């Protein structure tokens, strides 16, 4: 496995768009240099997911032309890892749509499950590798820069636990920083001017004690009950847990969540948690 380095310091002249360094005249040298930066950034990303986000295992899939697949078929290979005990997931081939990582790659959106082995919303092509490493809860986040996907990062825990919005946001922040570094290296290797650094978003103030009384981002505001169900869902509670806590039926909770997701313009519970945090609906 490639030795890890800090994504922001992997190579000062490549990772930082503001550097005055010019790309080499030899395109092959530039391509090799960019590949080295990419490996350093992605290797460090896997390590930091474990060190900083409370995960037991970090994995990173790199988009590649998959062996035995038609040219243009989307997929990736798990090239970087941290915290693994077995090697069945090392260099695993993941076509778009398969497993949780393949789903994130295909949908261009984060995805998570509290128990990978019992999940019914994903394929189970990688159960042997997941079981060998004793993994249960898993989160996957695509590394996006504009419309380009530079890879997918996995954060997994050796326990059945919900991924709360704090942990989701932490992994997402690392993924965004890595994607920016990779985009800068790619632009540098092409000899193109790199974009100006994007300022980090300013922290949002904590919401008032009564969130229902403050204006929210959706054009159609959430009802008090939708907001109450949303707050519990954003912390990773399942529909049965929310129903038991609020004295509702599971179908009623599902209806409130679907209505809230429609108003916020999101497609799944992971996007719902991120949108709720970014709009100030939850802490």
Question: pTM (2 decimals)?
Answer: 0.62
Asked, for residue 5, whether it belongs to a domain, the answer is: no
User: Of the given ranges (125-129, 135-139, 215-219, 223-227), which has the lowest mean pLDDT?
Assistant: 215-219
pLDDT digits (tens, 9 = 90+) for 146-161: 888 999 999 999 999 8
CATH number at residue 222: 1.10.10.10
Parent domain of 265: 211-278
Residue 170 and residue 271 in one domain: no
Model confidence at 212, pLDDT cuts 50, 70, 90, reads very low
Residue 75 has pLDDT above 90, yes or no: yes
Average pLDDT over the chain, rounded to an integer: 79
pLDDT for position 218: 43
In this structure, are residues 91 and 80 in contact, taking their beta carbons and an 8 Å threshold?
A: no
Residue 146 and residue 229 in one domain: no
Most confident of the following: 9-13, 132-136, 158-162 = 132-136
Asked, for residue 224, whether it belongs to a domain, the answer is: yes
pLDDT for position 101: 94
Asked, for residue 200, whether it belongs to a domain, the answer is: no
pLDDT for position 26: 67
pLDDT for position 57: 97
Most confident of the following: 21-30, 58-67, 177-186, 218-227 = 58-67
Q: How many CB atoms lie within 10 A of CB 210?
A: 8
Asked, for residue 144, whether it belongs to a domain, the answer is: yes
Residue 23 has pLDDT above 60, yes or no: no
Listed as own residue / partner, the contacts of 32-39 with beta carbons closer than 8 Å and 24 or more positions apart are 33/189, 34/185, 34/186, 34/188, 34/189, 36/11, 37/10, 37/11, 37/181, 37/182, 37/185, 38/62, 38/150, 38/182, 38/185, 39/2, 39/79, 39/80
In this structure, are residues 236 and 114 in contact, taking their beta carbons and an 8 Å threshold?
A: yes
Domain count, the chain: 2
Residue 272 corresponds to which tokens in the numbers above? 């719902």
Residue 175 and residue 216 in one domain: no
Asked, for residue 25, whether it belongs to a domain, the answer is: yes
Asked, for residue 7, whether it belongs to a domain, the answer is: no
Residue 29 has pLDDT above 80, yes or no: no
User: Of the given ranges (57-71, 73-87, 155-169, 225-239), which has the lowest mean pLDDT?
Assistant: 225-239
Residue 131 has pLDDT above 80, yes or no: yes
Residue 20 has pLDDT above 90, yes or no: no
pLDDT digits (tens, 9 = 90+) for 221-276: 777 788 778 878 877 788 888 888 888 888 888 888 888 888 888 887 777 777 77
Going 93 to 98 to 103 to 105, the CA torsion angle's sign is positive
Distance CA(223)–CA(256), nearest Å, equals 9
């Amino acid at each position: 496995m490639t030795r890890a380095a800090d994504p922001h310091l992997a190579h000062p002249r490549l990772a930082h768009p503001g550097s005055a360094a010019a790309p080499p005249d030899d395109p092959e040298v530039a391509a090799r240099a960019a590949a080295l930066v990419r490996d350093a950034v992605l290797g460090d990303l896997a390590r930091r997911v474990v060190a900083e986000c409370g995960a037991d295992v970090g994995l990173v899939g790199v988009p590649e032309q998959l062996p035995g697949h038609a040219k243009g078929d989307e997929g990736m290979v798990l090239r970087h890892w941290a915290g693994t005990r077995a090697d069945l997931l090392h260099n695993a081939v993941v076509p778009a749509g398969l497993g949780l990582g393949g789903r994130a790659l295909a949908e261009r959106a984060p995805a998570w499950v509290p128990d990978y082995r019992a999940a019914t919303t994903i394929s189970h092509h990688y159960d042997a590798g997941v079981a060998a490493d004793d993994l249960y809860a898993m989160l996957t986040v695509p590394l996006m820069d504009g419309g380009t996907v530079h890879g997918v990062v996995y954060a997994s825990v050796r326990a059945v636990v919900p991924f709360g919005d704090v942990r989701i946001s932490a992994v997402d922040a690392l993924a965004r920083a890595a994607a920016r570094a990779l985009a800068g290296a790619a632009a540098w290797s092409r000899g193109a001017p790199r974009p100006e650094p994007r300022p980090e978003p300013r922290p949002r103030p904590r919401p008032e004690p009564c969130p229902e009384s403050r204006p929210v981002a959706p054009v159609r505001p959430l009802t008090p009950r939708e907001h109450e169900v949303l707050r519990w869902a954003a912390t990773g509670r399942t529909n049965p847990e929310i129903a038991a806590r609020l004295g509702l039926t599971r179908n009623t909770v599902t209806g409130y969540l679907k209505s809230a997701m429609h108003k916020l313009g999101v497609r799944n519970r992971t996007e719902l948690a991120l949108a709720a945090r970014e709009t100030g609906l939850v802490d």
